[in-house]
Amino acid sequence: MCTALVNDEGQAAAQPARPLPSEIEFAPGTEEGSTAIGTSDRTSRRGLIARLKQHPLARLGPGLITGVADDDPSGIATYSQAGAQFGLAMLWTMPLAYPLMSAVQATCARIGRVTGKGLAANIAAIYPPAFVRALVLLLLVANTLNIAADIAAMGEAAELVTTVNRHVATPIFVFATLLLQVFIPYHRYVVFLKWLTASLLAYAAVLFTVHVPWGEVARRIALPHLSIDGASATMVLALFGTTISPYLFFWQASEEVEDLNSGKSILEAPETARTELGRINWDTWSGMFYSDATSICIILATAVTLHVGGVTSIDTAADAASALRPLAGSFAFALFACGILGVGLIGVPVLAGSAAYALAEAMGWHAGLERRARDARGFYGVIAVSVLAALVLQYTPISPMRALFWSAVINGVVAVPMLVVITRLASMPRVMGDFVSSGPTRVLNWLAVAIMAAAALGMVLA
């Protein structure tokens, strides 16, 4: 920058302009120098924040939330029953389930990110509409029954902790989760869900309040003692059915689409494949590890307290929390009960949301938690109906645990064909382009199909 001055011959001469304030270097210690240092400090802080955002933990998203939703109150009840009834004997199932659940969920996430469409939309593009709608209808019924069991457990837990009547607490939880889903955009709501994932830490904390024979735990995991009887087989099937659930398939695929935020899918922007698929693998395997480790903590906590104390039958997660109080103390009881509330506030929205995504995509409706309610009325209508129907079930003679049983039956029926369809979709170049799933992932998926098929058969024959 320069100014023009007139010289002795009347010609314009270029002279350096006065420097801008931002171009002046001040000496430290002066007022101006302090300003410059302050600006530098702010720049450094912004740089630190930017570096923190690049930390691997900051990359956790749909996989983390899906993993925590897998340990919903109904799942907690199943893990608690396993520990109470069989002690340490069922611990081996969780390390086996971990790679299977991770591979399946990573495949679902991959389908969503690569194609830019949810699971139901991809299935509808390949398979007959009647098949898709039958799967979605079964999923909707199963999810509603599962929500009913979850909110019943939340109401019971709230009554145990606060003494507020469960029939008062339950509607509060229902309307709170419903209002958050309908009126808060996804990019804001997901922050709330991520904070709630910390509630699973309560079950790790419980282990610090009780005595755990870690040597025996290691032996039972590494060298399981398998019992061939009806009760053991039924529990093994229930544990695998709880960890690999169809509603989680739809949820994680759709949340990858939500995270695109109207951006390009991998098929549209192949240069993003390495980064995005790497993030999906990290996110999903980390989230499933968090979920699986928590499941082990729950089985352990109930095994070394309830089973040792002679309590071998648990109907709900709240029953497990209540039974812990005389055996492990009030602190362990409070941690267990508060954990139920935290994971329930994640599990219920995921259950309702997954059904809404599936039905909306199958019907060709606008869908997405980022959309306003008036722009996706069918989608939000499904969320509202499923949650409110589950609330109504609380005031009928139908037992929430009986509802959970039928939910498990339906999920067992739906899971097997869903796993087959997901594995095939992820292997089709016409769907995935050059980004089909890897060989090891397909092997794990087919192994999950075999185990879930056995689980479904076992549930029918039990």
pLDDT at res. 25: 46
pLDDT at res. 7: 47
Residue 2 has phi, psi (to 5 degrees) of -145, 165
Q: Retrieve residue 250's tokens.
A: 């739809």
- Residue 6's H or E segment, with its range, is strand 2-6
Q: Write the CB contacts of 20 (distance below 8 Å, at least 6 apart in sequence).
A: 1
pLDDT at res. 72: 85
Sketch out the chain's domains with CATH numbers. 1-39 (no CATH), 63-420+428-461 (1.20.1740.10)
pLDDT at res. 183: 86
Q: 320-354 burial, b if ≥16 CB within 10 A, otherwise e? A: bbbbbbebbeeebbbbbbbbbbbbbbbbbbbbbbb
pLDDT at res. 45: 55
Q: What is the pTM for the complete model shown?
A: 0.81
What is the rounded CA–CA span in Å between residue 224 and residue 90? 8
Which SS3 state, helix, strand or coil, does residue 347 take? Answer: helix
Q: Retrieve residue 179's tokens.
A: 């209002």
Q: What is the pLDDT along the chain (462 residues), one digit of tens a residue?
A: 444 444 444 444 444 444 444 444 444 444 444 444 455 555 555 554 455 445 444 556 788 888 888 888 888 888 888 898 999 999 999 999 999 999 999 999 999 999 999 999 999 999 998 899 888 998 898 899 889 888 988 888 888 888 888 888 899 999 988 988 888 887 787 777 777 777 778 888 888 888 889 999 999 988 887 776 777 877 887 888 888 889 999 999 999 998 887 678 999 999 999 999 999 999 999 999 999 999 999 999 889 888 888 888 877 767 777 777 776 677 778 888 888 888 888 889 999 999 999 999 999 899 888 888 888 999 999 999 999 999 998 888 877 666 776 777 677 778 888 999 999 999 999 999 999 999 999 999 999 999 888 877 766 676
What is the rounded CA–CA span in Å between residue 23 and residue 158? 61
**Of 307, 366, 301, 367, whose CA–CA distance to 339 is shortest?**
301
**Of 53, 49, 106, 101, whose CA–CA distance to 279 is shortest?**
106
What is the rounded CA–CA span in Å between residue 268 and residue 279? 18
**Crossing angle of the two packed helices 330-363 and 246-260, in degrees rounded to 10:** 70
